[in-house]
Amino acid sequence: MTLSNNASQAFVKSLGSAAAGVIVSQITPAPDLVSSRLGQEFKVAAKASGATVSYAAMEGFVAAKVLVEGLRRAG
């Protein structure tokens, strides 16, 4: 079992046949799922910046939103 920060294609490829049975826990919605407002915002931001749509990018997007909101509330 691992967290989603290890779910990259490079990580899975490096495991080779040992990847069979590995469980990955995701903490964000799928990055290509636009049924939520968060997914829609992410898609627009990724397209505008030319970012690759991935779980890691989605997690970074969420972290940045939390940071900005915290700073905004702190004044």
Digits of tens for pLDDT over the chain (75 positions)? 565 666 677 887 888 998 888 877 777 888 888 888 999 999 999 999 999 998 888 988 999 999 999 999 999
Per-residue pLDDT reduced to its tens digit, 6-16? 667 788 788 89
Q: For the chain, which residues make up each domain, given as ranges?
A: 2-74
Whole-angstrom distance, CA of residue 43 vs CA of residue 41: 6
Whole-angstrom distance, CA of residue 72 vs CA of residue 25: 30
- For strand 2-3 and strand 24-25, is the pairing parallel, antiparallel, or unpaired? parallel
Place of tokens 């690759």: 52
Q: What percent of the chain has pLDDT over 90?
A: 40
